[in-house]
Chains A and B, each alone.
Chain A
Amino acid sequence: MTVCPHCGGKNLPHATRCVHCGEEMGAFFAFDAQGTPEDENAESQGGSDSISEVLRSLREGDVFEPILGAASESPQEEPTEDESVEPEVTNSEQPSGPEWLRRIRQKAQQEENGTAENRDELSAVDREFNDWIARIREKTQREALNQARAADTAMPADASGTPEWLRKVRALNPQGQDDSTDGAAIGNEADEWEMEWTDERLRALREKALLEEPEIEQTRPGPGPGGEPGLAEEGIVAAAAGAVELPTETRPAEFHNIPDEEEPAESLPAAKALPEVTEPALEPEAEEEETPPSTEPAGEEAPTKIEEETPALEPILEQAGLASGVENLNPVEVTPDEPKPTGDAPSDLMLLRTQKDFAALLKSMIYQEGTHSSPAKATKAEPAGISRFVLAMLLLAALIATLIISPGNVVPSRMPTEAASAFADALGALGAQDQVLLVTDYQAATSTEMELLLPTVLKQLDAQQVTWDVLTTQPSGLWLTEALLEKVDPNNKPSVNYLPGGSFGLVPLANGLGSQTPLGEYASALPQGIQDLRDYDLILLACDSELQARTWMEQVAPWLPPGRIAVVSTMQTAPMLAPYYDSGQIAGYLAGLEDQAGEGAESAYFPARVFQVGLLVLLVLLLLGMIVKADQDTLQQIEKRGEE
């Protein structure tokens, strides 16, 4: 309890005015650790305090005293309206301090001029803001002190090596740790602190506070006698503090991953849960009653000390729920009926932008301390080369083993396909007086497969005494056709003609335009007496590409009677030939090893076993791929269920 020095009546420890006589109780802000002005002058001249001392003084509350003292002057010494309107003049009239302080003032002044903000216009807004801040600060200071003292008594010895000052800072603002894992939230909060107050924002803040006022009043007693603002007013202040994201007791507890032993499990939740100031929590302030009344700081020494510690104090003050403009601290209680002008912020106490940045950085570091960040994803080396190598070795081993073990030429007995039967019919319909043109249009890679089919066909033509000529459209077709003809009849090889121009040469060759041109180049590709492709009874096209087959179908077939083209091709081209056969544009076709077996070429070497083993390897690998994928999916589903 606090005894009024005027009437001797008993008051609450935090009362700033006597409830009996209405006089001010100036001893409220006199703390134990506060020294005399002479001591403070000596401290400010003697050098800067360490961070631990500052934090200790912050916990004990005396760090605010010089700030509060600057603004808690007697009503006679409060700045007048003129002074608040023209702060620059006032600042210029102040006695000059140290050199670094003058530079800071100059820089702050430049920033003010650079932003082109008129202090006069903002003075009214600042006045309202300072009123709010004064009330907020009065409450949050008490709560911070209570929580710090509770944390001191409840916190066990730190085993994780967390510094004592950091634990105390956490104890001052346990709610602030909730956002430690969210860097974006920290950044947003820091941005809000840097946000300038506008009329709209203040109006919205005031409306929000008024909306929350009835709820707070239900839990708190009404205003005390003697014009004391009472706890209801404090509730508004607390609501306003919540609106600006100040840590208040009304905020719900949130999860954080800081070890539990760092949080006073008994004291802090209790402090959060109790909106009213309980008797044990008031003990520190009761002790402060014994200290002599605070005196005003002497001149500029107190602000100088604050300015020296401002960069380090900034995050701490923010954690404690104080705005960065600590210079506006006004411990004089403000009643809602009489807004008290506190004046403009002295320019030498305004934080620079870089200082704010450092403070935000330190604040984020404090938030993230003790939390483990997610490790960087380890990039796995793709073993694609190994898998392909294994596949290749498996395939090669199987094929080599088959080549060694298998008996070799095995011709399976199969039913010939419909297209192969039509091809055989077209070939069998030729007589001795008919002429056939063999066009070779395949590459060396598929020559093995093509040479399995063509010799049988050409031998059959020879057997039927059919005249046949040879034409190639590929430069490599010259020697490929020579190799083919070697297998048919080495002693009686016809000459191989070459048709240049690719698809450009096919059209004149098909419709006889070549013989009409002045050069007559295309006619030379055909034997004597042959004008164009229409003179042949059958064109035997040997091609391994569906693109070449399509070119023949599109450029040549329209100029020929239907059924004049028969195709010998590879197995992979067969599906693209089926539509042309189905529509009657080609007489028939042989496709690959399968149709070669149907033709009954017993004399040709047909490694059927190797072919079958190759297909079996492909089949097994495909099934393995499907099984492995299914297995992976099953494992993933099991892991997901385990995580859920």
Chain B
Amino acid sequence: MLRLRRRAAEPEPEPTADLALEARDLERAFGDNRAVAGLSLALRPGELYGLVGPDGAGKTTTIRLLTGLITPDAGVAFIAGRRVAPGSSETLEALGYMPQQYSLYGDLSVHENLWFFGKLFGLSGHAMRERRDRLLEVTRLARFGDRRASALSGGMYKKLALACALLHQPRVLLLDEPTNGVDPVSRRELWDLLHEFLHEGMAIIVATPYMDEASRCQRVGLMHRGRLLAEGRPDELVRAFEHETLLLHTDDRDALEEDLASHDEVLAVSPHGSAVRVVVRAGAAEAFRRTLPEAIRLEAVAPDFEDVFLARVRDAETASGVGGPRG
């Protein structure tokens, strides 16, 4: 196919050495919607990175940009030192990808799905069987080898999809909401599996809307409206959090929550048992205290990752002048 190369004068971008995955200023819009708006990422081999954000933050588009399934409007991405382009076999061979939606063949069995994707990655014979059996072993799917994929439970299906993505021993693994629709036990199993493969030097990106999963990652990026609001180790992000978290004990939670919506210094509100958990802007806690009725008892607590995320989103929305507090 004829492809015109524009900006021929510019030098071809070079990947940074020793990185398993690199994204520089990725941009992609769908119509008016800037799904990814200037996003940069860098992962070393053996690193587990959590891309955390609400639905519509641009996580799936980011991951698809890294696979080459979507072409960027601007910016470049490198996988294993090679530039990502649609259908570029060099990056695809180094890549394992597990889409968010069901993507295996429901009418084929567990074995047949593994066989098929193994073949597409050029595996055969002994190597194929050995890796297949090991993956079936660690995913505890060995007993279900002949079962059709459509007859697997949500958790087992995700484990099979993971096994299909791991069969060719990729250097980079991209997982788009792998625990979506998976029961808590299978969820923990999946995460334990990921940590096993990290030891082998794989770089893994997990996109997830679940804040509690962020703490399982070595590094997280908080994604919102196509941008990274903050990035770092989860514990460090929490430690560096400047705002204050309070628990408000009240008899009438609904009324209190409604009342809090009008407070500018309140960055985040979430229910916490019978109490209400709020994040108050740094330095504004004393003033906030005085505006509350006597009957409400306040308790200062340590912030957690979810507080950090909700406050950062609110900060960003205030800065750009859009949106209000979200329930």
A and B physically associate = no
Contact surface of A with B, Cβ cutoff 8 Å: none
